[in-house]
């Protein structure tokens, strides 16, 4: 059996302020283009099954434009008669059960199987059973759903999850609503486990894979390859790269011993070495004095940055770091209060006010 495993397309995502020729946000267009590449590949290769393991959309309420694009691509797949299972991830799953899911729009499209109801669903495709668990409404729900997964004899068994994994290595993103499971929860006797949520294509266990995202969504991902898996069950797993806009992190420059001219030169040297035209670029300035920062050759830097789609240069002022180091250690609450009250002009019985406040502090800190 041949399947395509893709994940974390985040349709509708937009960032920065560059506008494409069609008037849309350029990053939004980039995200659409990368997913269209995947769909074109799928239609050309015509696998037995496509699995999308979550975060198909970037938000619970995608724009009409994102919905229109998604429907266009799903109808292409439907017309090609390729079964396509789409799992709801943490980005598109509503926080409350009462809130409807946008995935309901796809329920009546032939060959499209949206999985979004917060519970385990089993879909039979040919000689395979796909056990699909979408993002759940609670960790307890997730645990129960995983416990309910049972291997079916005489079938190819595929598990689909959108979760972070902890074990010898950790695969998590730190999202506010991400759900995490131990690697020991992944059944070792399944034929393939399609994971979503972690944006780097990674083999987690012998039979479990994160497909990664189809585009760059954070500088944490800079330099990673973006794509999807072309899988022949129990034979081989091939990573297929997508052509996406490059995101590069030029690292940090320690500016403490450099002059403004040397800092400017180093910024330009690093940028020229990697090339920034049309790319998304980041370089960080560490321990730079305010005077040095103002004295940088901004004309040269802005000219360099203008060719990038996005060029960001966060900085850490040397003076701020020194101030933080020079601050005395914060004392306990009583000491802080005594210092504060001593510095404030108060009429009346200042001693009585001070002692009353200390009494309350003592009571709440027991």
CA Rg value for the chain? 27
Alpha helix positions (H), 22-159: 26-45, 64-79, 139-147
User: How many CB atoms are closer than 10 A to CB 35?
Assistant: 23
Determine the Cα angle at 46 with ends 40 and 49, to 5°.
105
- Note if 91 is an active site residue: yes
Q: From the candidates 5, 10, 52, 91, which is the catalytic residue?
A: 91
**Residue 119 CA to chain centroid, in angstroms?**
23
CA distances (Å), origin 42, targets 3, 55, 246: 10, 19, 23
Give the SS3 label for residue 140.
Answer: helix
Sheet with 121-125, strands from edge to edge, namely 121-125, 128-133, 156-162, 192-196, 208-210, 202-205
DSSP bridge pairs for 269: none
Q: Among 155, 146, 153, which Cα is nearest to 187's?
A: 146
Task: Give the tokens for residue 91.
Answer: 């980005």
What are the catalytic residues?
91
């Amino acid at each position: 059996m041949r399947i395509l495993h893709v994940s974390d397309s985040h349709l509708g995502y937009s960032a920065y302020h560059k506008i494409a020729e069609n008037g849309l946000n350029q990053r939004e267009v980039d995200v659409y283009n990368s997913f269209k590449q995947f769909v074109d590949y799928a239609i050309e290769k015509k696998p037995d099954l496509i699995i999308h393991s979550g975060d198909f959309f970037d938000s619970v309420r995608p724009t009409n434009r994102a919905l229109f694009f998604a429907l266009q691509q799903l109808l292409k797949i439907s017309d090609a008669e390729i079964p396509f299972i789409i799992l709801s991830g943490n980005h598109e799953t509503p926080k409350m059960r009462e809130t409807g899911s946008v995935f309901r729009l796809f329920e009546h499209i032939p060959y499209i199987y949206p999985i979004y109801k917060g519970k385990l669903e089993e879909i039979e495709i040919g000689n395979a059973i796909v056990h699909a668990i979408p993002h759940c409404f609670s960790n307890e729900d997730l645990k129960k759903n995983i416990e309910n997964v049972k291997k079916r004899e005489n079938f190819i068994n595929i598990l689909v999850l959108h979760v972070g994994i902890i074990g010898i290595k950790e695969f998590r993103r730190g999202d506010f609503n991400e759900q995490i499971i131990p690697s020991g929860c992944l059944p070792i006797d399944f034929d393939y486990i399609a994971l979503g949520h972690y944006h780097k294509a990674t083999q987690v266990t012998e039979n479990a894979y994160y497909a990664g995202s189809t585009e760059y969504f954070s500088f944490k991902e800079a330099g990673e390859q973006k794509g999807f898996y072309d899988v022949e069950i129990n034979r081989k797993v091939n990573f297929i790269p997508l052509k996406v806009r490059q995101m590069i992190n030029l690292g940090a420059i320690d500016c403490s011993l450099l002059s403004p001219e040397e800092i400017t030169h180093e910024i330009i040297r690093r940028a020229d070495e990697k090339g920034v035209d049309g790319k998304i670029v980041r370089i960080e300035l560490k321990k730079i004095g305010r005077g040095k920062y103002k004295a940088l050759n901004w004309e040269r830097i802005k000219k360099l940055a203008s060719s990038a789609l996005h060029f960001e240069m966060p900085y850490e002022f040397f003076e701020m770091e020194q101030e933080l180091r020079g601050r005395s250690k914060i004392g306990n609450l009583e000491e802080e209060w005594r210092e504060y009250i001593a510095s404030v002009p108060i009429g009346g019985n200042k001693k009585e006010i001070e002692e009353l406040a200390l009494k309350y502090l003592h009571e709440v800190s027991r």
